[in-house]
Amino acid sequence: MGEIINTIVTIVTIFIYIAAIIVISIGIIKAFYIFIVDIFSKKEARKAIKESRLEIGHSFTLGLSFLIGGSILKTTIAPTWNDIGQLASIIAIRTILNYFLIRDVEQLQEKE
């Protein structure tokens, strides 16, 4: 029974990481597309950059949330104190990054 749970958790974790990669990649592509369209439509560069940053900020925050969830799930299999310490460090770093990304996105949205 334990091996089945380990296998399920491993597979789900892989899918979560893939989802994070997809979300972040699509966000990067969309941000680049928005920037290119805005530049060629004769908008000011500042507005094009702002719109691109908003798009990429949203995708990064969602991607980081997936990565945090995947890390938590991965550690549930057979955690050692070392694994728990690494998880705490990863979550702390990703949460801090996520906090600042969300704050920047909200500030950019307020300026609109």
pLDDT tens digits, one per residue of 81-107: 888 888 889 888 888 988 888 888 888
The residue that leads in pLDDT, 71 or 44, is 71
Contact present, 76 and 9 (Cβ < 8 Å):
yes
pLDDT > 90? residue 23: yes
Q: How far apart are CA 49 and CA 35, in angstroms?
A: 6
Among 26-40, 45-59, 84-98, the range scoring the smallest mean pLDDT is 45-59
**Structure tokens that stand for 100 in this block:** 């600042």
Reply yes or no on whether the pLDDT at 22 is more than 90. Answer: yes
Please give the mean pLDDT across all residues of the chain. 86
Q: What is the pLDDT at residue 112?
A: 63
For residue 70 the two structure tokens come to 């995947």
Instruction: Please report, as a single letter, which amino acid is at residue 81.
Output: W
